[in-house]
């Protein structure tokens, strides 16, 4: 559930913590803040993708190749990745399950994106999709995703680092 009064972990342009602000204030004033992105891959090297609900305040109705959310005040990137994976699709993960990829500075959205990937080989029917945020999920092959990002498909969220993480997923 989108909570505009949720306190977001606001940072400066170097990812140093400042003062927490509400989600609404953070977005309205275009303040730097932290988010987590979690890429879920299976043994076939497919990526679990989601279609965002149309009521989302950012990128409504678009597809994206990761899950995640805003890091709240006092929360680490890893803690947020674990929490968001549970909230958005019902997967129980631990810090050991989350493989840290990198922190990406995304100027356009004024975000520091803590990027992780994790493995899951379950059946999509066993996921518990967060009703307010996730419309549906599907597996996508890496070559298909590479094409989507290279073509700048506007029905997909684009975050600048996709090519790098897809390469990493392919070789690991």
Question: Residue 12's pLDDT is what?
Answer: 97
The rounded Cα 136 to chain-centroid distance in angstroms is 15
Integer Cα distance of 154 and 85 in angstroms: 25
Query: Mean pLDDT for the chain?
Result: 95
- Tell me the domains of the chain and their CATH numbers: 7-166 (3.90.79.10)
* 47-96: pLDDT as tens digits: 999 999 999 888 999 999 999 999 998 899 999 999 999 999 999 999 99
Q: Which residues contact 143 (CB under 8 A, 6 or more apart)?
A: none
| Stated pTM of the model | 0.95
Neighbouring-strand partners of residue 64: 50
SS (H, E, C) the chain: CCCCCCEECEECCCCCECCCEEHHHHHHCCCCEEEEEEEEECCCCEEEEEEECCCCCCCCCCEECCEEEECECCCCHHHHHHHHHHHHHCCCCCCCCCEEEEEEEECCCCEEEEEEEEECCCCHHHCCCCCCCEEEEEEEEHHHHHHHHHCCCCCECCCCCHHHHHHHHHHC
The reported pLDDT for the residue numbered 58 is 85
pLDDT at 6 over 90: no
pLDDT for 44: 95
Asked whether the predicted pLDDT for residue 105 surpasses 60, the reply is yes
Task: Give the per-residue pLDDT at 3.
Answer: 73
Alpha-carbon span 22 to 26, nearest angstrom = 6
**Residue 1 pLDDT > 80, yes or no?**
no
Sorted by sequence, the CB contacts under 8 Å of residue 171 that are 6+ apart come out as: none
* Span 19-55, pLDDT tens digits: 999 999 999 999 999 999 999 999 999 999 999 999 9
- Each residue of 144-171: pLDDT tens digit? 999 999 999 999 999 999 999 999 998 8
């Amino acid at each position: 559930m989108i909570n505009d009064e949720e306190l977001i972990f606001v940072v400066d342009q170097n990812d140093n913590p400042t003062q927490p602000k509400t989600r609404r204030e953070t977005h309205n004033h275009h303040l730097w803040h932290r988010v987590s992105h979690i890429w879920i891959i299976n043994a076939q090297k497919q990526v679990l993708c989601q279609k965002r609900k149309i009521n989302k305040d950012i990128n409504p109705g678009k597809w994206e190749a990761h899950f995640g959310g805003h890091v709240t005040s006092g929360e680490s990137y890893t803690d947020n990745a674990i929490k968001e994976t549970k909230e958005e699709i019902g997967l129980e993960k631990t810090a050991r399950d989350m493989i840290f990829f990198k922190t990406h500075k995304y100027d356009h959205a004024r975000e520091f994106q803590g990027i992780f990937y994790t493995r899951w080989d379950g059946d999509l029917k066993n996921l518990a999709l967060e009703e307010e945020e996730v419309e549906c999920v599907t597996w996508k092959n890496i070559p298909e995703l590479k094409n989507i990002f290279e073509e700048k498909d506007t029905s997909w969220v684009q975050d600048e680092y996709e090519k790098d993480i897809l390469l990493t997923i392919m070789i690991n």
